[in-house]
Structure 1
Amino acid sequence: MLKEKIINRMPGILTYGMTPPKATNLPEKIAEISQKQCERIKGLDIDALILYDVQEEADRIEHERPFPFLPTIDPTTYSDVYLNQLLIPKINYRCVGKYTETQLVDWIKADEDQERFSVFVGGSSSKQEVKLDLTEAYKLSKQFNRNLTFGGVVIPERHMMKNDEHIRVVNKMKNGCNFFVSQATYNVEASKNFLSDYFYYCTNYGIEMVPILFNLAPCGSPKTLEFMKWLGISIPKWLENDLINSNDVLDKSIRLSQKIFEEILDFGLEKGIPVGCSVESVSTRKVEIEASLQLVKDIKSTLDKRLKLAVVN
């Protein structure tokens, strides 16, 4: 169903995202981690599982990273070897700048007879040295594997500064991107501003809009909040104050995330924009992971109710 939902530009696509284990783990530890993840994810009613391809982002920001960077298992390898018991589509991120053209082509051409999904990610900043840029990756994907449905990353907060995120998205659509996933969303104003410009630009130029999945990530501690800010996630000052001064940071974060997404979803449905959602936990703390799983179930309930109401109306 995922391919049909993407191609038919349907609202309500729901995914869960996670980062593969650290590559330094012993095989038995990786097997243990993957088994726990499979047990958790089996109970989720989602359209796909997102697996991130992590890259060092030291060039993007001067502040020291709150948590040390450690390479992780390749998302495709992790998906194929350790998560094959999960019979749901996997969307494997690909940080294309890490790979040579030959390496990326080999990956693109693998399993040509199967439906595959990916999100292509460019460099973390203009300072980062890359072996391959996004435009080249798009061309190679279309040339070598038509069964690979790929999407891109959208950053609504960037729209607040440059006012051109909708143009970036449309240009990526012209290069073959069929859907987009945002970074963690806490700034509803930035998200609605982007969606508004995206809607009117596409309407004025007769362009069919593709699904935009807004990412939600619970914040369960000041340390997680610090890491989110380092990642470039835009958290309004009033919201940061509410989280820091809350008696239960995690509960407050989840309630705010739900409220933010409901506002974005209603805004999108009113205009016919195919809005969806992706949930993740940026923390490896068990309590935050469990909170993210519950958030998926809550968002699923919200989507079902809102979409049913939209059909009736």
Structure 2
Amino acid sequence: MKTESELKARYNDIHRGVYFIGTTPPKSDTPLEEVESIANKLLERVSDIDFDGLIVYDIQDENSRTNKPRPFPFKSTHDPRLYSSLLNKKSNRPVITYKSVVQSNADDFNQWANEAWKKYGVKDIVLVGSPSKNNTISLSLENAYNTLVTNENNFFIGGVTIAERHASKGNEHQRLIEKHQQGCNFFISQAIYNPQATIDMLTRYAIECKEQGLKPQRLILTFSPCGSQKTLEFIDWLGVSVPEATSLRILNANNSLYESIRICSNSLQQILDAILPYDLPLGLNIESLTNRKEEIDGSILLYKLLRSKMDNYLAKKELNLLIGKN
């Protein structure tokens, strides 16, 4: 059995991107043989694209975060560790597993972590804290990070970054630095539909790291296609900032899905153009927020488009580096 994360070495090379497909575990009432079939279908869909790994989310109800009704009813899923282990074995690629620590205490979480490593082979973990300050918290996010850092197993630990928080509070760059000090070595954004909020956060983070003499950690940018009003409502419910003009473009387009893909492609280009002067190691995560075949297929197309843009960006960075040396 491998004793450390395969992703660590890839993340250390700041001159290359890292590319992921995001997914959710099947619903908990899905028979195990169907879970395997669902995993096979996912990997078949992505078989013709070059990706570094997968991301498996830990889906929670989150009804405490907002008063808005949930557009899609909440249903519990199979253990993300189980689905991660299955995808890892079938794809032979690393899988990042999300873990919500809201309902954990220190002992339970440590047991969860030991089982993750020994039973499921999970080595790459992103921790998610409480969706609301109103929740009773048994285990803080900081303590959960500390539990993984001090665990006997050598986990590769990541965190979540939310540009919308930076837009409202202006301190997300400081949270990134604090989380790194607590043990995080990479960050994954929530879905991006407001590129300016992400540009502001990344720019501030890059400058703050430079001023403090810190090495910026890997930032993985998440994009999700949107093919219907219901999906758009879900994106809004998740707390993703979608400017009014962007919503109207999607809803009034002849093909909402393809319009959203164009918007995501333009958004990434805006972000890359804005942060070109800074040394920020990046990555991409493309997800489908629904199980509609059209949107899943759209996410594969979006992956191909955005991967091409990211590769071009990295080539441009490398060229600038060579020119600077001569």
Q: Any conservation in 2 of the 1:9–1:209 contact (CA below 8 Å)? A: no
1:208-247 aligned within 5 A: 208-247=215-254
Correspondence for 2:92 among 81, 87, 90: 87
C-alpha distance after superposition, 1:10-67 (max 9, x if no partner):
5522111001100012233323222211212333311220000011110000011011
Q: Normalised by the size of structure 1, how large is the TM-score?
A: 0.95
Correspondence for 1:190 among 175, 178, 197: 197
CA distance in 2, matches of 1:15, 1:252: 22
Match of 1:154 in 2: 161
CA distance in 2, matches of 1:146, 1:204: 33
Q: Any conservation in 2 of the 1:38–1:83 contact (CA below 8 Å)? A: no
- TM-superposed CA distance for 1:267, in Å, is 2.5
Task: Indicate whether 1:252 and 2:244 are aligned.
Answer: no
- Compared CA separation, residues 76 and 115, structure 1 to 2 (3 A): closer
Q: Structure 2: which 5+ residue stretches go unaligned?
A: 1-5, 321-326
Task: Indicate whether 1:23 and 2:22 are aligned.
Answer: no
CA distance in 2, matches of 1:268, 1:14: 19
Match of 2:323 in 1: none
Correspondence for 2:66 among 57, 61, 64: 61
CA distance in 1, matches of 2:302, 2:44: 17
Q: Name the count of aligned residue pairs.
A: 313
Secondary structure of the equivalent of 2:124? strand
Query: Which letter maps to 1:293?
Result: I
Secondary structure of the equivalent of 1:85? helix
- TM-superposed CA distance for 1:246, in Å, is 0.7
Q: Any conservation in 2 of the 1:34–1:83 contact (CA below 8 Å)? A: no
1:139-150 aligned within 5 A: 139-150=146-157
Correspondence for 1:164 among 171, 176, 180: 171
Correspondence for 1:275 among 277, 282, 293: 282
CA distance in 1, matches of 2:213, 2:132: 32
Match of 1:105 in 2: 110
Q: After the TM superposition, which segments of 4 or more aligned residues of structure 1 sit over 4 Å from their partners?
A: 8-11, 112-115
CA distance in 1, matches of 2:307, 2:188: 17
CA distance in 1, matches of 2:16, 2:203: 16
CA-atom RMSD, angstroms?
1.8
Match of 1:13 in 2: 18
Identity over the aligned pairs, expressed in percent?
36
- TM-superposed CA distance for 1:80, in Å, is 1.8
CA distance in 1, matches of 2:154, 2:57: 20
Secondary structure of the equivalent of 1:127? coil
